[in-house]
């Protein structure tokens, strides 16, 4: 196995637990990785401001030097520069505008879904949030309902510029040009690191393509489909949940 030079971590359900906390063991590991010259990347669907706040609340972030990069909204890349995160403005803006141009199509698909599958109860993010973030998001009653809706959505998206990604009980209608895997691939190309030297950890359906593209690991709480992908790729599945599971994987690889 080639030495790992980049560690990319999903946030919810992976780096943080259900209380938005990072285990102290994991924090210690991440700081040590920074000292070893290993690049740490946070890869999340959350907006930039929310991700930065969670990191700071856990003794991580720009002031500590770790992570060195953030991927937020499953699209936008930010690089740590002189104790603050700065956006890749040109790339981020271009992809945001691409997604925003698809909003009317996404709204129409969400409306069609309500009519064709009234048995599924879900709410849709407010138009102001759609405009700000660039995409439509469905909030389902639970993750099982979200899985069923995801299957139904495939009937509406076959020939579309959109695709649907699920994270727990949330489903986002996104441009096919956006996604954790694509953003991370762009960053890894920039860093000139071979894919086999990149460790990726995630726990939900929206992490699957990213896990397939690099060396994968996941935690005990991950979706069954995620664990299947990690096994098929010869990756690591921790015995512990979320943040403690991250510490377990990092110990196995680096200690």
Closest among 182, 186, 162 to 174, alpha carbons compared: 162
CATH number at residue 200: 3.40.50.1000
Q: Is the pLDDT of residue 98 over 90?
A: yes
Note whether 103 and 168 are same-domain residues. yes
159 and 99 both lie in a single domain? yes
Is there a domain that residue 54 lies in? yes
Task: Quickly state the pLDDT bin for 245 (edges 50, 70, 90).
Answer: very high
Domain co-membership, 104 together with 171: yes
- Do 171 and 183 reside in the same domain of the chain? no
Residue 89 included in any domain: no
User: For the CA atoms of 208, 213, 219, 221, what is the dihedral angle to 10 degrees?
Assistant: 0
> Which residue in this structure is represented by tokens 């096919």?
176
Same domain, 203 and 234: yes
Q: Is the pLDDT of residue 1 over 80?
A: no
Number of domains the chain is built from: 2
Show the domain range for 40. Answer: 6-74+179-254
Is 80 part of any domain?
no
| Dist. CA 28–CA 26, nearest whole Å | 5
Are 124 and 163 contained in the same domain? Answer: yes
43-97: per-residue pLDDT in tens? 999 999 999 999 999 999 999 999 999 999 999 999 999 999 999 999 999 999 9
| Band (114; pLDDT cuts 50, 70, 90) | confident
Q: Which of 148, 175, 202 is the last residue of a domain?
A: 175
Range from 23-27, 150-154, 215-219, 247-251 carrying the lowest mean pLDDT: 150-154
pLDDT at residue 154, rounded to an integer: 83
The share of the chain scoring above pLDDT 90, in percent, equals 89
SS3 state at 174: strand
Higher pLDDT: 160 or 235? It is: 235
- 175, 201, 223 — which closes off a domain? 175
Identify whether 83 is part of a domain: no
Q: How far is CA 178 from CA 77, 152, 234, 247, in A?
A: 12, 21, 26, 29
**Mean pLDDT of the residues in the chain:** 95
Same domain as 167, residue 134: yes
Residue 210: partners with Cβ closer than 8 Å, 6 or more residues away: 8, 43, 179, 180, 181, 184, 200, 202
Same-domain check for residues 114 and 49? no
Evaluate if residue 119 carries a pLDDT over 90: no
pLDDT of residue 157: 87
- Check whether residue 148 and residue 192 sit in a common domain: no
Strand segments, DSSP code E, in 44-191 are 69-72, 76-80, 85-87, 122-124, 136-140, 162-167, 170-175
155 pLDDT tier (thresholds 50, 70, 90): confident
pLDDT digits (tens, 9 = 90+) for 4-21: 999 999 999 999 999 999
Q: Are 65 and 186 found together in one domain?
A: yes
CB 73 within 8 A of CB 52: no
């Amino acid at each position: 196995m080639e030495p790992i030079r980049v560690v990319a971590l999903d946030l919810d359900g992976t780096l943080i637990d259900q209380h938005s906390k990072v285990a102290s063991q994991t924090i210690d590991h991440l700081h040590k990785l920074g000292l070893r010259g290993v690049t740490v990347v946070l890869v999340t669907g959350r907006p930039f401001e929310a991700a930065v706040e969670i990191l700071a609340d856990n003794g991580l972030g720009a002031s500590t030097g770790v992570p060195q990069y953030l991927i937020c909204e499953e699209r936008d890349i930010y690089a740590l520069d002189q104790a603050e995160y700065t956006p890749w403005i040109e790339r981020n803006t271009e992809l945001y505008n691409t997604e925003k141009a698809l909003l009317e199509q996404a709204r129409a698909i969400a409306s069609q879904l309500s009519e064709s599958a009234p048995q599924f109860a879900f709410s849709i993010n407010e138009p102001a949030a759609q405009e700000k973030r660039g995409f439509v998001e469905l909030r389902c009653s639970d993750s099982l309902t979200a899985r069923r809706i995801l299957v139904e959505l495939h009937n509406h998206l076959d020939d579309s510029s959109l695709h649907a990604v699920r994270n727990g009980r949330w489903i986002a209608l996104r441009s096919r040009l956006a996604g954790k895997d694509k953003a991370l691939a762009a960053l890894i190309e920039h860093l000139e690191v071979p894919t086999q030297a990149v460790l990726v950890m995630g726990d939900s359906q929206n992490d699957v393509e990213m896990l397939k593209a690099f060396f994968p690991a996941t935690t005990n709480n991950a979706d069954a489909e995620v664990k299947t992908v990690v096994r098929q790729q010869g990756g690591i599945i921790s015995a512990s949940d979320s943040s403690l599971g991250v510490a377990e994987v990092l110990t196995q690889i680096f200690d």
